[in-house]
Amino acid sequence: MRVLLQSAASGILIGGVYALVGIGLTIIYGVMRVINFAHGELLMIGMYFTWIIFTVFGVDPFLSILITIPGMFLFGALLQKVLINRVLNALPQNQILLTIGLGLVLSNLVMLIYTSDYKIITTGYSSSTLSLAGLRLSTPLVISLVITSAITTVLYLFLLKTDTGQAIRATAQDRDAAQLMGINVKRMSVLAFGIGTALAGTAGALVSPTYYIFPQVGGAFTLKAFVIVVLGGMGSVVGATLGGIIIGITESLAAVYISSGMKEVFVYVLFLLVLLFKPSGLLGRSRM
């Protein structure tokens, strides 16, 4: 029983990180209808960014999020303007290929600059734990869950209450109608990609104290991000949050009760089941 609870708790904590990645992807899809296969690489860039700030300036990875968020936002906006914008009206297959290509370019550029050496951030609290109701929880993961919740709440309020946020949601619901209403949909796309990138990069920053950093780290996260987004419903922020937690728990329990090597199989099988039987996901699509 103890193992079950501990494992579930562990899953929730890692699920929070997954959720952040998923939310970024779902916003990009929701607004731009672009399937961003380079999302994992954006996370990887966020990790390297954090690592640079940590090693050069000595700033704690969690604190450096204040720099990472705007930095990654600008990077995402740039990518959108230069690359993604050109394929907004192209075949979805071409969009996918473009983002795959982009992902390859990003990960290999980083490899060229930093080599494939695995980098690891060691902080004073990297392996410390908190005790809660007899369960041991990893301190850095708890902190990242708290920060994730904060960011998600702020994002949700932004989308719901502010004019820009509502404009983004309008664009997601119906691009043409939004344009007719006077919303600058091009700008919304830039914003959406910027926000999506910032979230992915932040997820990278949050997970960097507990994981390691290498150029190909994005790959594993991209596919999982898609699973989460489909599970939660393409375009739904709340859905992606739920999806992330569910996937985190599934993985964790599968690792304990089946085998560590097979845990991803369960995630992918769940993915296929959702695609086949409830493709709109838990919370439907295009509702942010």
Partner 1 sequence: MPRILAKARGFTVLAPLPILLLVAALVAFPRLVASPYALHMMILLFLSVAMGESWNVIGGYCGQYSVGHAAYFGVGSYATLMLLQYKHLAPWWGVWIAIAAALVVSLVIGSICFRLRGPYFVLASIAVAEIIRLIVLNWKQFTNGAEGILLVDIPPLKLGQTVITDWLAKTPFYYLGLALALTTLLVNYLVQHSKLGYCLQAIREDQDAAHSLGINPAFYKNVALAISAIFTALSGVFYGLYIGFIDPASVLAVDLSVQMVLICIIGGIGTNFGPVVGALVLVPLSEALRSNLFSKLLFTAGLVKETSRLGAFLKENLAHAHVLIYGILVVVVILFMPDGVLGFTKKLLARGARPLSPKPSPLVGGLDGPA
Partner 2 sequence: MQTFLRAALALGLALPSLTSAQSLKIGVINSVTGPEAPIGENLTNGIKLAEEDLAKRGTKVELVWEDDTGKPQIAMSAMEKLATRDGVAGVVGPYTSASANAVAKLAQRYQVPLLVPAAAKEEITRQGYEWVYRLNAPANIYAQVLLDAVTELGKPKTIAFVYENTDFGTSTADAGKKYAEKKGIKMVADEPYSKGSPDYRSTLMKVKSLNPDLVFMVSYVVDAILLMRQAREVGLKPQAFLGGGAGFTTTQFASDKDISNLVLTSTQWADDVKWPGASEFAQRYKAKFGKEPTYHAACAYAAMMIMADTAAKQSGDRKKIRTALASGSWKGIMGDVKFENYDGYTNQNKHPMLVLQIQKGNYVAVYPPEFATKKAIYPFAGW
Residues that bind partner 2 (CB under 8 A): 2-3, 6-7, 10-11, 14, 111, 115-118, 120, 122, 126-129, 136, 138, 207, 210-212, 214, 216-217, 220, 251-253, 255-256, 259-261, 264
10's contact among partner 2, partner 1, none, with CB below 5 to 8 A by partner kind, is partner 2
CB nearer to partner 1: pick between 99 and 210: 99
- Report in angstroms how near the CB of residue 131 gets to partner 1 at its nearest: 34
> What is the C-alpha to C-alpha distance for residues 7 and 213, in angstroms, rounded to an integer?
24
Residue 89 touches which member of partner 1, partner 2, none, C-beta under 5-8 Å by kind:
partner 1
Which of partner 1, partner 2, none sits in contact with 268, Cβ below 5 to 8 A by type? partner 1
Cβ(72)–Cβ(42) below 8 Å: yes
Write out the H or E segment, with its range, that includes residue 259.
Answer: none
Cβ nearer to partner 1, comparing 9 with 77: 77
The tokens for 247 are 């996937």
Token pair recorded at residue 239: 């859905």
| Both structure tokens of 243 | 């999806």
* Residue with tokens 């109701």, as numbered in its chain: 133
The DSSP bridge pattern shows strands 135-138 and 129-132 to be antiparallel
6 binds, among partner 2, partner 1, none (CB under 5 to 8 A by kind): partner 2
Tokens matching residue 255: 């690792």
**CA Rg value for the chain:** 18
78 binds, among partner 1, partner 2, none (CB under 5 to 8 A by kind): none
Site residues (vs partner 1, CB under 8 A)? 33, 35, 83, 86-98, 100-106, 108-109, 111-112, 175-176, 219, 223, 226-227, 230, 234, 259, 261-262, 264-265, 268-269, 271-272, 275-276, 279-280, 285
Phi, psi of 129 (to 5 degrees): -130, 160
Query: What's the per-residue H, E or C state across 194-214?
Result: HHHHHHHHHHHHHHHHHCEEC
